[in-house]
Amino acid sequence: MKEGTDLGNINDFKLSLQRKAQTTLEKIVNFIVEDGEIQVINNEEADTIVLGIKTSNPGALIGRHGHTLDALQYIVNIITNKEIEEPERRKIIVDIEGYKERREDIVSKYAREKAEIVKKTGKKIALCYMNAVERRIVHLVLQEEPLLSTYSEGKEPFRRVIIVPEENKNNINNTEEE
Amino acid sequence: MRELIELIIKGIVDNPNQVEINEIIGEKSSIFEIKVDPNDIGKVIGKQGRNIKSIRTIVNAAAQKDDKRVVIEIVD
C-alpha cells in the first residue's frame, strides 16, 4: 500500500514521462506522415503508458509485418526512459488504429488452425517467424490444449514457434527422465 | 531527413553536443555519416545492433515518400 502523498508524486512523475513519450512520438511520426496525432489511451497498469497514433496513412507507420511500428515503440521507449532508474521506468506501448488487437486476433486464429492440423496428422509444424509478443500470443492460445505443446526455436529475427503433438511431447519427457 | 536522424540520435546518446551528421547526396540514395562521442557508439548501435536497426527502419519509412533510399553509417 502506498501513502497518499507518495501516490501524488508518482502520478506527477508518470504524467511527465507520458508527456515526454507523447511529444517524442509525435515529432518522429510527423516525419513519416503529415497528420499524425498522438493520444494517451487509458490503461489500468501503473507502469505502462499506452499511446495511440491517429493518421490518415496508418500503413506508412505500421510497415511490413509491423516492423516500423515495432521500431517506433522501441525507440520511444529508449528516449523516454533515458536517465531514469530501473524501478521508475515505464513501458511504452505504441498502437495505431487498433492494429495490435487485430494482429492478436490474426495470430490466434492462425495458431489454432495450425494446431488442428498437428492434431490430425500427428506431425509437428513450424509456424512463420514472429516477434516475441506474437510468439507469446501463440504459446498462450495453445497453452490449454491437452494434446499439444509449443516451444520456440531459432535466433531473432528468425525465431519461430513449433507446435508438437502430445505423442512427441511424451517422448521428449521420457528421454529426459531416462 | 537530417532533422529526424538528429532527433533520434541526440535522444539516445549521453553527449548530444558531440553528434555530427554529414550528408552525402546521391541520385537515388542519400548517405548519412554519423559521428558521436566514442563512449556513445554502443548506445547508437544497441544490443545486437537493435538500436541502429530500428533507427534505419524509421528513417527509411520517412524516406519512402520521397522515393529515396537512406543509408546510415556510423563513422569513427
Say what the pLDDT of residue A101 is: 87
Say what the pLDDT of residue A10 is: 63
Whether A81 and A110 share a structural domain: no
What does pTM read for this prediction?
0.82
Q: Residue A4 — very low, low, confident or very high, per pLDDT cuts 50/70/90?
A: very low
Amino acid A13 reads F
Q: What is the CATH number of the domain that holds A160?
A: 3.30.1370.50
Residues of chain A with C-beta less than 8 angstroms from the C-beta of B48: 156
Is residue A115 one of the residues assigned to a domain? yes
Output the nine-digit C-alpha cell for A30. Answer: 510527423
pLDDT at B12 > cutoff 50: yes
Whether A80 and A18 share a structural domain: yes
Question: Percent of chain B at pLDDT above 90?
Answer: 84
Whether A129 and A66 share a structural domain: no
Is residue A175 one of the residues assigned to a domain? no
Least Cα distance to A30 among A67, A56, A66 occurs for A56
Q: What is the CATH number of the domain that holds A82?
A: 3.30.300.20
Q: How many domains does one find in chain A?
A: 2
pLDDT at A168 > cutoff 60: no
B7, B12, B48 member nearest A27 (Cβ): B7
Q: For residue A35, what are the domain limits?
A: 2-97
Residues of chain A with C-beta less than 8 angstroms from the C-beta of B7: 27-28
Pairing of strands B69-74, B29-35: parallel
Whether A9 and A92 share a structural domain: yes
Whether A18 and A80 share a structural domain: yes
Cis peptide before A165 (omega within 30 of 0): no
Q: Residue A37 — very low, low, confident or very high, per pLDDT cuts 50/70/90?
A: very high
B12, B50, B62 member nearest A31 (Cβ): B62
Whether residue A61 and residue B61 make contact (CB cut-off 8 A), yes or no, is yes
Whether A69 and A147 share a structural domain: no
Output the nine-digit C-alpha cell for A59. Answer: 500503413
Output the nine-digit C-alpha cell for A120. Answer: 490430425
Whether A14 and A84 share a structural domain: yes
Sign of CA dihedral A92, A97, A101, A105: negative
Assess contact for A39 and A52: CB atoms under 8 A.
Answer: yes
Whether residue A32 and residue B8 make contact (CB cut-off 8 A), yes or no, is no
Chain A residue with CA closest to B12: the answer is A79
Q: Residue A178 — very low, low, confident or very high, per pLDDT cuts 50/70/90?
A: very low
Which of A97, A127, A158 is the C-terminal boundary of a domain? Answer: A97
Say what the pLDDT of residue A6 is: 53
End-to-end CA distance of chain B: 21
Is residue A173 one of the residues assigned to a domain? no
Which of A53, A80, A97 is the C-terminal boundary of a domain? Answer: A97
* pLDDT 10s digits, A54-104: 999 999 999 988 899 999 999 999 999 998 988 889 999 999 989 988 999
Assess contact for A95 and A51: CB atoms under 8 A.
Answer: yes
Is residue A7 one of the residues assigned to a domain? yes
Question: A117: part of which helix (H) or strand (E)?
Answer: helix A99-121
Chain A residue with CA closest to B58: the answer is A68
Is residue A174 one of the residues assigned to a domain? no
Chain A residue with CA closest to B53: the answer is A71
Whether residue B48 and residue A70 make contact (CB cut-off 8 A), yes or no, is no
d(CA B50, CA B60): 15
Assess contact for A152 and A160: CB atoms under 8 A.
Answer: yes
Amino acid A143 reads Q
Is residue A177 one of the residues assigned to a domain? no
Assess contact for B10 and B52: CB atoms under 8 A.
Answer: no
DSSP states along A2-34: --HHHHHHHHHHHHHHHHHHHHHHHHHHHHH-S
B8, B57, B65 member nearest A68 (Cβ): B57
* pLDDT 10s digits, B33-69: 999 999 999 999 999 899 999 999 999 999 998 888 9
Whether A49 and A73 share a structural domain: yes
Whether residue B48 and residue A71 make contact (CB cut-off 8 A), yes or no, is no
ipTM (interface predicted TM):
0.95
Is residue A110 one of the residues assigned to a domain? yes
Say what the pLDDT of residue A44 is: 81
